[in-house]
Structure 1
Amino acid sequence: MKQQHVDEKEKIFKPILVAWEVTRSCNLACKHCRASSLRGPYPGELSTEESFKLIDQITEVGNPILILTGGEPLMRDDIFEIADYAVKKGLRVVMAPNGTLVTEVVAKKIKDVGIQRISISIDFPTEELHDKFRGVEGAYKGAVQAIKNAHKVGLDVQINSTITKLNYKYLDDLLKLSEELGVVAFHPFLLVPTGRGKELEEQELSPEEYEKTLNWIYDMQKACPNIFFKPTDVPHYFRVRMQRA
Structure 2
Amino acid sequence: MTHPRAAAPRRLVRTPRHAVADRPFLVIWESTRACPLACLHCRAEAIPRRNPRELSGAQARDLMDQIAAFGRPHPLFVITGGDPFQRPDLTELIAYGTGLGLRVAVSPSGTPTLTRQNLTAVRDAGAVALSLSVDGSTAARHDTFRGVDGVFGLTLDGWRAARELGLKVQVNTTVSRCSMEDLADIAALVHREKAMLWSGFLLVPTGRGAALDSLTAQETEDVLHFLYDCGAVMATKTTEGHHFRRVVLQRAALAERGELPRTGALHARLTARAHALGLFDGGHRAVRRPPMDVSSGRGFVFVSHTGEVTPSGFLPLSADNTKHRPLMDIYRESPLLQELRDPSLLRGKCGVCEYKTVCGGSRSRAYAVTGDYLAADPWCAHRPPAWQQAGEEEESPCAQ
TM-score, normalised with respect to structure 2: 0.57
Match of 2:382 in 1: none
CA–CA distance in 2 between the matches of 1:5 and 1:108? 31
Partner of residue 231 from structure 1, selected from 229, 238, 242: 238
Q: In the alignment, is the contact (CA less than 8 A) between 1:5 and 1:14 conserved in 2?
A: no
Number of residue equivalences: 236
* 1:211 to 2:221 alignment: yes
Partner of residue 27 from structure 2, selected from 18, 31, 53: 18
Give 1:117 shift. 0.7
Q: In the alignment, is the contact (CA less than 8 A) between 1:99 and 1:145 conserved in 2?
A: no
Residue type of the partner of 2:172? N
* 1:30 to 2:36 alignment: no
Give 1:243 shift. 1.1
> Against the structure 1 CA distance between its residues 24 and 4, is the aligned structure 2 distance closer, same or farther, given a 3 Å change threshold?
farther
Q: In the alignment, is the contact (CA less than 8 A) between 1:52 and 1:85 conserved in 2?
A: yes
* 1:243 to 2:254 alignment: no
Give 1:39 shift. 1.0
Partner of residue 98 from structure 2, selected from 87, 106, 116: 87
CA-to-aligned-CA distance 1:186-218 (integer Å, 9 cap, x gap): 111000111221222xx2211110010111111
CA–CA distance in 2 between the matches of 1:115 and 1:177? 25
Residue type of the partner of 2:251? R
Q: In the alignment, is the contact (CA less than 8 A) between 1:99 and 1:147 conserved in 2?
A: no
Answer with 1 or 2: which has the greater Rg.
Answer: 2
* 1:61 to 2:73 alignment: no
Q: Superposed, which structure 2 residues align to 1:1-245 within 5 Å?
A: 7=18, 13-62=22-71, 63-100=74-111, 101-200=113-212, 203-222=213-232, 224=233, 227-245=234-252
Match of 2:284 in 1: none
Residue type of the partner of 1:219? D
Residue type of the partner of 1:216? F
Give 1:99 shift. 2.9
> Against the structure 1 CA distance between its residues 4 and 194, is the aligned structure 2 distance closer, same or farther, given a 3 Å change threshold?
farther
CA-to-aligned-CA distance 1:4-60 (integer Å, 9 cap, x gap): 95856xx95201001110100001111101111101222221000000111111111
SS in 1 for 2:239: coil
CA–CA distance in 2 between the matches of 1:181 and 1:194? 31
Residue type of the partner of 1:105? Q
| Structure 1 ranges of 4+ moved more than 4 A | 3-8
Q: In the alignment, is the contact (CA less than 8 A) between 1:4 and 1:15 conserved in 2?
A: no
TM-score, normalised with respect to structure 1: 0.92
CA–CA distance in 2 between the matches of 1:191 and 1:118? 21
CA–CA distance in 2 between the matches of 1:165 and 1:46? 35
Using the aligned pairs only, state the percent identity. 37
CA–CA distance in 2 between the matches of 1:158 and 1:5? 20
Match of 2:256 in 1: none
Indicate the RMSD between aligned Cα atoms, in angstroms: 1.7
Give 1:65 shift. 0.5
SS in 1 for 2:198: strand
CA–CA distance in 1 between the matches of 2:17 and 2:169? 30
Q: In the alignment, is the contact (CA less than 8 A) between 1:4 and 1:17 conserved in 2?
A: no
- My pick for the range that moved more, 11-20 or 173-182, is 11-20
Residue type of the partner of 1:73? P
CA–CA distance in 2 between the matches of 1:66 and 1:133? 27
Q: Which has the higher contact order (CA 8 A, sep 6+)?
A: 2
SS in 2 for 1:14: coil
Residue type of the partner of 2:41? H
Residue type of the partner of 1:26? C
List alignment gaps of at least 5 residues for structure 2. Answer: 1-13, 253-400
Q: In the alignment, is the contact (CA less than 8 A) between 1:4 and 1:16 conserved in 2?
A: no
Q: In the alignment, is the contact (CA less than 8 A) between 1:24 and 1:42 conserved in 2?
A: yes
Residue type of the partner of 1:67? V
Match of 2:355 in 1: none
CA–CA distance in 2 between the matches of 1:41 and 1:216? 39
